[in-house]
Structure 1
Amino acid sequence: MTTAPTPVPTTPAATSPGGGAGASATATTTSPTTTAPGPRRRPLARLGGASWLAAVPLLLFFLIGFGLPAVAIVIGAFTTSSDAESGAGQFTFDNLTASVQGGYQTAMLSSLKLSALTALLATVLGLPLAQAVVTSRRGWLRQAVLTASGVLANFGGLPLAFAFVATLGNAGEITKLLHLTDHGWSLYSFTGLTVVYLYFLVPLMVLTITPALDGLRTQWREAAQNNRATTVQYWLHVALPILLPSLLGGFVLLFGSAFAAYATAAAMVGATVPLVSRSIADALSGNVLVGQGNLALALSLNMIFVAVLVMAVYLPLQRRSARWLS
């Protein structure tokens, strides 16, 4: 009678590393440390930040179109004109000194006054118009107003001057229909030029302030209503303080746009209203004095200085409004 051999139990240590039981036991007792895979690098990041190469054409265009003329203006403003009688090309402060005296000073102050007044009026008129567009329940009305504003904001120059001369000039249709001349109206004056500038500044203000009005949250109005605040109180204590940076930024933007405008005023009022842009054209063409070419560059440098101040005020206001309305 034979007896069957007694089977010997196997332990994890006795099994081979490649065996199923031993492998599973080992896997349960020891858990290897695993690391999460890192984020995959983008192709442009592996190139060492080569994405800036896409901006090279824009930088070259800016350098050629704006940088070189700016350098030429700065150099010419501090040197004597090449068509002067003697001492051409010499360093001088006479151009800058003359650009802030006499008639040139009057032209600069008139341009600043016209720009500030039209920008203020356009801000006051554009805000309620933009608010009416934002709160309108008709989507087609919003799109129509914003599209028309985009067109009118860029409508200027000779076509705009002709349109106003044909309608509000001395022999214009509306002037004759309403007998505006008998009431002292004149398109070719400071007041008339102000009305013309508002034609493209008000639509520009609508485009500028509409995103800020969209950023006003409904919860803020509801919270004011829950605290029994009237509509006037809501605007005075909630909406306007929040919109103030955007409003000031829009005002500065409109000021710069009106300050740089030239073709409309030159075609409509000529020398009737003194403007610095018109003074630059007269100095370049020699209509007043011969040999004043670099004086025109000094006047242009003054305008660049004003534009730099405008941008220095506009950019911080824009960042602050974006922080509130984001």
Structure 2
Amino acid sequence: MSSANTGATRQTSKRPRLPLDWLGVVPFLIFVVLFLFLPTMKIVIGAFQNPDGSFTLDNIKGLYTPSIITAYWISIKISIASALLGCLIGFGVAAAVVLGGLPNWIRSPLLTFSGVASQFAGVPLAFAFIATLGPVGLVTVFLKTQLGLDLRLMGFNLLSFWGLTITYLFFQIPLMILIITPALDGLKREWREAAEILGASGFQYWRMVAFPILLPSILGTMSLLFANAFGAVATAIALTGSSLSIVPILLFAQIRGDVLGNPHLGYALAFGMIVLTGIANALYIWLRARSERWLK
């Protein structure tokens, strides 16, 4: 009986067990499949299909028309400009809080605001900037009536390249602050003390020690900000409408169902955006992995 019970116990122990450790991430995996993987695959497949479902490269060839190339170039320039300015300003703010000797109570409200502002986009953000910097916005009217500065006469137009770039900075700067703050926290005090003992000045410490260590994090965050701006759709459409020819606006025009629209050309436009943002995100992951070697 004992040997039979032992055999039964062994058979029971060999039965496959449910991977309960993965149960907690099942909702996340379902969300990724339904709202990320499947829509992406539909876009990729649709970019190489005719309306009848047959394979074609005409949609990809359509991306090389002058109007679409111009739209991609404008979108890339806006993304680069907002990423560079976002990195520069965000790094300055984060460095002032982490390393600049500011009071500790400033850090928590700043990070809280950055977490909220980095997700604030779309129609509310566009309306906020129109009400602030639009032709009859609060700041525009104040500068004109109180200081005699007419932004329109000075060449500033919110519905333009720089207007959209400034609008994007509202969520680009907070995102930079959120990502670069842990990297600044990772700079060890011993590194600065060792540099000072060896006779290095503050500038030399930053040029030879701190900046090379932070450079992968900065470049990686810049690539992430580029992807973030390049993929912003709702803000651009709500703010500029059709006055600025960028890829998200052309994509919206192709897939909204008009007679002149070509949904499969819209799929090709979206496919090009996926490729560019995918490269930027892959670069961010690679650079972040390199920076973590030093900052652990």
Task: State the TM-score, normalized to the length of structure 2.
Answer: 0.88
The equivalent position to 2:70 in structure 1, one of 97, 100, 106, is 106
The equivalent position to 2:130 in structure 1, one of 156, 165, 171, is 165
CA contact (8 A) 1:221 1:234 kept: yes
Shift of 1:53: 4.2
Counterpart-to-counterpart distance in 1, 2:90 and 2:190: 25
Counterpart-to-counterpart distance in 2, 1:158 and 1:273: 16
1:106-145 correspondence runs (5 A): 106-135=70-99, 136-145=101-110
1:317 maps to amino acid: L
Shift of 1:47: 4.9
CA contact (8 A) 1:123 1:251 kept: yes
Aligned to 2:181: 210
Shift of 1:287: 4.7
Counterpart-to-counterpart distance in 2, 1:47 and 1:288: 56
1:228-266 per-residue CA deviation (whole Å, 9 max, x = no partner) reads 222111111111000011001110111111011111111
Aligned to 1:220: 191
Change (3 A) 1:106 1:288: farther
Aligned length: 274
Shift of 1:305: 0.9
The equivalent position to 2:121 in structure 1, one of 156, 180, 199, is 156
Shift of 1:294: 0.8
Counterpart-to-counterpart distance in 1, 2:17 and 2:291: 36
SS at match of 1:146: helix
Bigger Cα displacement from structure 2, 67-76 vs 212-221: 67-76
2:202 maps to amino acid: T
The equivalent position to 1:191 in structure 2, one of 145, 157, 162, is 162
Shift of 1:286: 4.4
Counterpart-to-counterpart distance in 2, 1:123 and 1:232: 20
More helix by share: 2
1:53-64 correspondence runs (5 A): 53-64=23-34
Shift of 1:50: 5.0
SS at match of 1:182: coil
Counterpart-to-counterpart distance in 1, 2:33 and 2:260: 32
Shift of 1:227: 2.0
Aligned to 2:218: 247
Counterpart-to-counterpart distance in 2, 1:274 and 1:215: 42
Counterpart-to-counterpart distance in 2, 1:288 and 1:207: 44
Shift of 1:57: 3.1
Shift of 1:321: 0.8
SS at match of 1:224: helix
1:305 maps to amino acid: V
The equivalent position to 1:76 in structure 2, one of 46, 53, 57, is 46
Aligned to 2:234: 263
Aligned to 1:94: 58
Change (3 A) 1:100 1:138: same
2:133 maps to amino acid: L
- Residue segments in structure 2 that go unaligned for 5+ positions in a row: 1-15, 144-149
- Residue segments in structure 1 that go unaligned for 5+ positions in a row: 1-45, 82-87
Aligned to 2:4: none
Change (3 A) 1:316 1:267: same
Counterpart-to-counterpart distance in 2, 1:61 and 1:151: 22
Counterpart-to-counterpart distance in 1, 2:74 and 2:230: 10
CA contact (8 A) 2:118 2:172 kept: yes
Bigger Cα displacement from structure 2, 300-309 vs 174-183: 174-183
1:91 maps to amino acid: F
1:176 maps to amino acid: V
1:307 maps to amino acid: T
SS at match of 1:225: helix
Shift of 1:112: 1.1
1:293 maps to amino acid: P
Shift of 1:79: 1.0
Counterpart-to-counterpart distance in 2, 1:181 and 1:54: 54
Among the aligned pairs, what percent are the same residue?
45
CA contact (8 A) 1:282 1:288 kept: no
Counterpart-to-counterpart distance in 2, 1:321 and 1:111: 29
Larger radius of gyration: 1
The equivalent position to 1:304 in structure 2, one of 274, 292, 295, is 274
Aligned to 1:16: none
The CA RMSD measured in Å over matched residues stands at: 1.7
SS at match of 1:261: coil
